[in-house]
Amino acid sequence: MDKGYDDIIVKTISRLMIPFIQLYALYVILHGHYSPGGGFQGGVILGASIILFALAFGRETALEVFKEKVLLVLCGIGVIIYAGAGYLCLLSGGNYLDYGKAPFFHPPYIRSFMIMVVEIGVGITVMAVMASIFFALSRRE
Amino acid sequence: MKLLAALSAFLTGAILIYGTLFMPPFGDPKAPAHTHVAPRYIARALEETEVPNIVTAILADYRGYDTLGETTVIFTAGVSVILLLRRNKK
């Protein structure tokens, strides 16, 4: 019933732009320790692309792609990734969130690698929370 | 009662504005924020964290606990909004 924004221009431009917006969001998250950006900013851009999809093609279409339950689980998974990265450092005798001591990976770039893992966790949580709040607020009945 | 509320709000605002008068000028190199930990971060962030972006180094490494808390706050906010707004059909 909800067919989204009834305009061919909006739908075509959204179809063209959304992949590039999501690619840029991934760049902002994964390159956050070398250039401006990081998990929070990239997660917001990723969430905005989902919201643009929902606005252009309709809430019901978007809910078929991004299920509300999956988004809710993703909210928790991001925090678990972050906290898990902290516990990983405990395994080999370091302090909590002391990235230099993480096992399985070895210097010299272990710290920047663990920062990237942590940023991915933040990005997943921010993206899922943004999309969940939008879907919860845009409910009709 | 309304007069009392307005008076207390006005008084609190006045005290806060009075407090800002003693802040150091914007960009002052001798301000406390620029003399304690900031020079050490700028000097040693690259060798200690292997990350060239100092903002990310402070956010995710030096203050990792803080960012973990921020992520948890966002998670809690999202779950609260969903709990308040979502109504399951019975």
Domain contains B57: no
Q: Which of B56, B61, B71 comes nearest A99 by C-beta?
A: B61
Token pair 């739908």: residue: A11
Q: Which of A32, A111, A122 comes nearest B71 by C-beta?
A: A122
Give the model's pLDDT for residue A14: 93
- Over the stretch A48-96, which tens digit does the pLDDT of each residue have? 999 999 999 988 888 899 898 999 999 999 999 999 988 888 887 888 8
State both tokens at A126.
């921010």
Give the model's pLDDT for residue A1: 46
Total domain count for chain B?
1
- Over the stretch B49-70, which tens digit does the pLDDT of each residue have? 888 888 888 888 888 899 999 9
> Which residue in A has a C-alpha nearest to residue B81's C-alpha?
A133
Contact A136 B85 (CB under 8 A): yes
Domain contains B1: yes
Domain contains B15: yes
Domain contains B18: yes
Query: Can you give the C-alpha Rg of chain B in angstroms?
Result: 22
User: Which residue range(s) make up the domain with B21?
Assistant: 1-28
Q: CA A107 to CA B42: how far, in whole Å?
A: 22
Domain contains B9: yes
State yes or no: pLDDT of A27 exceeds 60: yes
Domain contains B3: yes
* DSSP states of B12-73: HHHHHHHHHTTSPPTT-TTSGGGTSSHHHHHHHHHHHH--S-HHHIIIIIITHHHHHHHHHH
| Spatial CA neighbour of B58 closest among B47, B45, B39 | B45
Residue A10 to chain B, least CA–CA distance (Å): 29
